[in-house]
Amino acid sequence: MDILEILGYFGALLIGVVLGLIGGGGSILTVPVLVYLMAINPVTATAYSLFVVGTSALVGALRNLPKKLIDFRTAIVFAIPAFIAVYLTRMYLVPAIPEEIFSIGGLMITKNIGIMLFFAIIMVVASISMITQKRTEDTDEEQAVQYNYPLIILEGIVVGLLTGIVGAGGGFLIIPALVLLAKLPMKKAVATSLLIIAFKSLIGFMGDVQNLEIDWPFLLIFTGLSIAGIWLGVYLNKFIDGKKLKRGFGWFVLVMGIYIILSELL
């Protein structure tokens, strides 16, 4: 086992710690860890990421179940179009992307480079969302839950499509959607988003099982470390201000996103 592989397994633990500390964002690290530290092909890495993210989010959702924070009606309305979109994306769209997409000057944008560049752009958008996030989390009053069905369904399709391509959970898109479109309080939005992420990620992964050869021993060890990290993160949350950490993590994700863009293009 070389130093990069050791760092990769440490990265798996870190993904869980971040999820446990700030309730999201950790999934955005999964693909870079798998690609750059574990030397896994980007298409396979996005598939593995769906399994890691889905399983970790399911653990988080089960932790919230006794607290009655999950709004199941909203989760179903959002999740059905999302998991249909993510399944179809992984089953048909990703395999249909040509190995050579286009060239700019002497640079050929291949399927692998294209996926990493698109992922990096999503990272940059997510990081800006974390850095500039207003303190809506402080205002958590109960209000009547309302359902803007057409917009919730449309958002579900968009999030499912993005999740299918990049293998990240999309919590930074789902949580604002649940707050704005279903009028959920922030705590309920976070808990409900975990259930949505779990279902759509794991169903999306099923689309890959039929197309890819899965290294189950590696994937289960990596996922197990990530879940252990969640419990460690939840424990550390008692001593660390999650909101300040989220902003700092946002800057880290921004730097990572820019690094990926430069490394893929140069």
Spans of all domains in the chain: 3-265
pTM of the model: 0.81
* CA dist., res. 41 & res. 265, Å (int): 17
Q: Using alpha carbons, list the distances in angstroms from residue 167 to 44, 132, 261.
A: 10, 24, 17
Give the model confidence (pLDDT) of 134-152 as tens digits. 654 444 555 566 667 788 8
Q: Are 16 and 121 in contact (CB under 8 A)?
A: no
- Report the 10 Å Cβ neighbour count for 112: 16
Q: Is the predicted pLDDT of residue 229 greater than 70, yes or no?
A: yes
Q: Is the predicted pLDDT of residue 39 greater than 80, yes or no?
A: yes
Give the model confidence (pLDDT) of 70-96 as tens digits. 889 888 888 899 889 988 988 899 889
pLDDT of amino acid 138: 47
Residue 110 makes CB contacts below 8 A (sequence gap 6+) with 99, 100, 101
Q: Are 52 and 37 in contact (CB under 8 A)?
A: no
Place of tokens 């252990």: 228
Least confident of 56-60, 166-170, 219-223: 166-170
**DSSP annotation of 38:** S
DSSP string, 187-202: HHHHHHHHHHHHHHHH
DSSP string, 121-180: HHHHHHHHHHHH--SGGG----------HHHHHHHHHHHHHHHHHH----HHHHHHHHHH
Rounded percentage of the chain residues whose pLDDT exceeds 90: 23
pLDDT of amino acid 147: 67
The more confident residue out of 172 and 229 is 229
For residues 229-249, give the mean pLDDT: 79
pLDDT of amino acid 169: 66
Q: How do 100-104 and 107-110 pair as beta strands?
A: antiparallel
- Report the 10 Å Cβ neighbour count for 32: 21
Give the model confidence (pLDDT) of 149-196 as tens digits. 788 888 889 888 888 887 776 776 787 778 877 788 877 888 888 888
Residue 144 makes CB contacts below 8 A (sequence gap 6+) with 183
Token pair, residue 239, equals 């001593």
Beta bridge partners of 109: 102
Q: Is the predicted pLDDT of residue 213 greater than 60, yes or no?
A: yes
